[in-house]
Structure 1
Amino acid sequence: MDRVDFTPPGDDTAERADAYATAPLLNCLLREVAEPLSDPGERHVYRLPGTGRLLRVRGTRRPAGPEVYTDGGWHHLGHSELVKLVADELRRHTGVSNHELPAEMTDSRDTVAALLTARDGATAPDDPYLRSEQSLITGHPYHPAPKARGGGPVAGWLPYAPEAYARFPLVLLGLREDAIVEEGDVSALDALGEAPAGYRLLPAHPWQLDLVGAGLADAFADGRLIRLGTTATEVRPTAAIRTVYLPGAAERAEDLFLKFSLDVRITNDVRRLWRHDLLKLRRTDAAVRDAFAAMGGPGAWLSDRGYRTADFAFEELAVMVRDGLHDHLLPGTTPLLAAGLVEGFEGSPLDGGADPGAWWEAYLRQVVPPALTAFADHGVVLEAHVQNTLVAVDADGMPVQALYRDAEGVKLLTDVERGAGWERLVYCLVVNHLVEVAGVLAERHPGLDPWPAVRAEFRRHDLPEVAALLASPTLPGKTNLLLRWTGADGADARYLPLPSPLVEPVAG
């Protein structure tokens, strides 16, 4: 079985952190740069074209144990040595130097070490939904620095880290009414506390305020902003870090999500709520809501209802209001983050005794139709990867509903060419979602081939693109390592062809 054990003898935190950080970095290097050679044994051997070095690893889905061939033998690489090897290879391979990304790779590994230490002394939430959101120690499996937190001190970000099972109150600010900018339905914000006459409530993420820092001094001094304490209810950060979950409470019946700006680079982007995204939010979200309403269920969309911010700090203080879960869930079901199913958490239905083939067919029947129907019938391209997809399961752990989120990542075919929109959907839904969940199932159940069921599910949908997808020998894979090394914009997706498991095997 191709399953990496991230708990070495002695449970050494440094070794565990190395293992967690090494797997996604190797995934990027092997996907985007390395050339596979003949594979005579348990380890897979690759040539690095820039330096000519030979590299070998164990496993494929989460590669481990990297070794480089030097001085007539194979030598193990720790994470720091791997970072140096990757940087040297990329300088020669691309002709471009980059001092920022190696530092992010190291920051990502050090973040993992801090998270592992914190988790050892923390208690996981009782709610399986929250456990699934807060389970992502590896994070994006194809990013060179998935857990980087901007290089800041651990004390600055650890209290707000979902992976450390964080929970905390939000800071409540009063924003003078003449400085408010808002759009959509943000009435839920006013239920979080009380503001004095002439002010409206503006919740803020504590880390957000720390990052903005002295930039707000004048606004506090002249009264455009005032401090009003904190929320009565603690929030839980979700896998997205800057998005938090507010469970329902006596003073506020509905549950709710709030999304904030954070001036920190996480994976490819600085996680601000950018002005241009906020200004198109209502149009995009309305298109997705209309699409899901027309489908009539059971799939659901968590609407990004609107935003509130300050005219003098439009992006820095922006907060977005998102639907909670309970008004959308089928009765008696439990929502789980798809990325959590891949990573693993206590109580995952993949740890149960359900027939894996039946479970997988049920999963596909929930997650694939909404994404394809939104595209085909409504011109909506969902960002349907594992971190934006929730799957509700019944009491037996069987998938019965899919819920999607994040209007910021949605594209509309009125704005992008259809071929580009389809490529993005295939990358998100197939490469960044189905491939990952299928990989876990195949790893746990070596006799299971998950791909006939995927082909069958896609064939149920009458899209002209489906036949070409099922016949294509390749799928689009995003080049996160090369994108970051060459300094491309985080939203500038560039794809390389990956072997497609969707192709029907040749008989005989």
Structure 2
Amino acid sequence: MPPPADRDAEARADADAAAGADVAERADACAAAPLLNCLLREVARPVEGEPGVHRLPGSGRLLRVRGGRRPVAPEVRADGGWQRLDHPGLVALVAEELRAYTGLPNHELPAEMTDSRDAVAALLTARARATSPGDPYLRSEQCLLTGHPHHPAPKARGGGPVTSWLPYAPEAHARFPLTLLGLREDAVAEEGDCSALDALGTAPPGYRLLPAHPWQLDLVGPALDAAFADGRLIRLGSTDFDTWPTAAIRTVYEPGRDLFLKFSLDVRITNDIRRLWRHDLLKLRRADAAVTRAFAAGPGAWLSDRGYRTADFAFEELAVLVRDGFAGRVPPGATPLLAAGLVEGFGDSPLDRLTDPAAWWRAYLRAVVPPALAAFTDHGVVLEAHLQNTLVAVDADGMPVRALFRDAEGVKLLTDVDRAAGWERLVYCLLVNHLWELADALTERHPGLDPWPAVRDELTRHPLPEIPALLTAPTLPGKTNLLLRWTGADGADARYLPLPNPLAAV
């Protein structure tokens, strides 16, 4: 018999191996679900009479999955039986199918799918050692281990080493100080109200304060060496407080100052390189002003992107955007929660303690739908009202009382886009990406709930000329994130395919 010390070492090794296997299994499941959702929505065709079985039209192969809104256990038909696919096998199957289906090769996206899965594994390991924030709002922002439910690689972090991004990952419950730079006054480029930045520290005479995300500086790297050498930039240390990264990763929140700051990151996250692009910054104030007017007297609240500051020699690389906090926008006693967090699930979510899901759902719709529709029809503003841009304030009983929207960068104005195109975008963001996903999360918990009559009732309260057609249309627009990424389309180039309209079936 081995001595006690050896037995303890063996036990620890066994426990570590079991924990590693559990992490690997969970990472595979988290990464496979959104990838399968994309494949089933955009490419595969259901086989009549065989539940869960789909034909892949490019290769002709049969795929079988289990589960509902988060498919699991993918299997492919081969050699007269069903063969289970691990994550590498699923990635290979998807790549083979898309090459046949589109006639195009793509070497980047399969690597991103693998990177996304490996990122989830790293996040799971880090979360096991981290402390979840006590604030339910922050928990809702930092819970998105699966992330976008219809994206092939929602957790990819640009392929960089884990050590480069994990310290700043919201899913790992990160919190960190910001780097403070001094930017010489003659090199400052800014617009709007950036006074909140000047309160983050002290800049020497002749300089203005410019906070930076630590990962942002690592990514820019040697490109700033000349500016540091000639004094256009100086290092001023770090903030004496921590900030919390939100679900958007490049946006952080500082609760003590009730302040959001959004930074520029040269990393592809979902469809886009998350840089604050010059063309977006230059039209930001116009878009934000339009939304602010739309919300001035109507329902809901808007978190204004009130201004930006950057360096004229590194306009996009060093840009920081100042966003309003919650003060005056959340009713007294209420708590804001991220809509995407409600879908993903987090500790003490209101969905965990519902006794009347139908009443909760009606209250949610009454909070979220009117502001988005009023902004569109009364002010010509198309909100990007998807899950990650919508917050819902709930009262002490968990009942929704107000919706808050954010991100002027994603706003479209009907003075710039065709009304039909703007309506299609709103329907996708609000109905398909947002309400449909939350409805599925609710019905998974409460199978007896039919969420769509309440959606239909809420929509009929609003006299938009597009509503009657929406209620009877056979399909709704679904964004094709898998095909968009495979064909190399611009990340902002939304392409839709028709999905069966659950409203028309009511």
TM over 0.5: yes
2:216 corresponds to 1:215: no
Amino acid at match of 1:425: L
Q: Residue 3 of structure 2 aligns with which residue?
A: none
Superposed counterparts of 1:36-435, under 5 Å: 36-40=46-50, 43-248=51-256, 254-295=257-298, 297=299, 299-435=300-436
Q: More deviation in 449-458 or 9-18?
A: 9-18
- Shift >4 Å, 4+ stretches: 8-11
2:25 corresponds to 1:22: no
Deviations 1:221-247 (CA, angstroms, capped at 9, x unpaired): 000000001111100000000000011
Verify the 8 A CA contact 1:25 1:143 in the aligned structure 2.
yes
Unaligned 5+ runs, structure 2: 1-17
Which secondary structure does the structure 2 equivalent of 1:294 belong to?
coil
Alpha-carbon distance, 1:11 to partner: 6.6
Change (3 A) 1:102 1:10: closer
Q: How many residues align?
A: 489
Verify the 8 A CA contact 1:470 1:504 in the aligned structure 2.
no
Q: More deviation in 177-186 or 325-334?
A: 325-334
Verify the 8 A CA contact 1:136 1:163 in the aligned structure 2.
yes
Unaligned 5+ runs, structure 1: 1-7, 249-253
Amino acid at match of 1:28: C
Deviations 1:233-290 (CA, angstroms, capped at 9, x unpaired): 1000000000000112xxxxx4100000000000000000000000000000000000
Change (3 A) 1:280 1:457: same
> What is the alpha-carbon distance in structure 1 between the residues aligned to residue 211 and residue 463 of structure 2?
45
2:26 corresponds to 1:13: no
Which secondary structure does the structure 1 equivalent of 2:354 belong to?
coil
Alpha-carbon distance, 1:483 to partner: 0.5
> What is the alpha-carbon distance in structure 1 between the residues aligned to residue 49 and residue 91 of structure 2?
24
Amino acid at match of 1:31: R
Which secondary structure does the structure 2 equivalent of 1:414 belong to?
coil
Alpha-carbon distance, 1:417 to partner: 0.1
> What is the alpha-carbon distance in structure 1 between the residues aligned to residue 367 and residue 451 of structure 2?
16
Alpha-carbon distance, 1:451 to partner: 0.5
Alpha-carbon distance, 1:354 to partner: 3.2
Amino acid at match of 2:35: L
Which secondary structure does the structure 2 equivalent of 1:476 belong to?
strand
2:473 corresponds to 1:463: no
Alpha-carbon distance, 1:59 to partner: 2.0
Q: Residue 450 of structure 1 aligns with which residue?
A: 451
> What is the alpha-carbon distance in structure 2 between the residues aligned to residue 204 and residue 138 of structure 1?
28
Amino acid at match of 2:129: G
Alpha-carbon distance, 1:39 to partner: 3.6
State the Cα RMSD in Å. 1.1
Deviations 1:289-312 (CA, angstroms, capped at 9, x unpaired): 0000031x4x10000001000001
Amino acid at match of 1:139: G
Q: Percent identity?
A: 78
> What is the alpha-carbon distance in structure 2 between the residues aligned to residue 354 and residue 333 of structure 1?
19
> What is the alpha-carbon distance in structure 2 between the residues aligned to residue 479 and residue 201 of structure 1?
41
Q: Residue 488 of structure 1 aligns with which residue?
A: 489
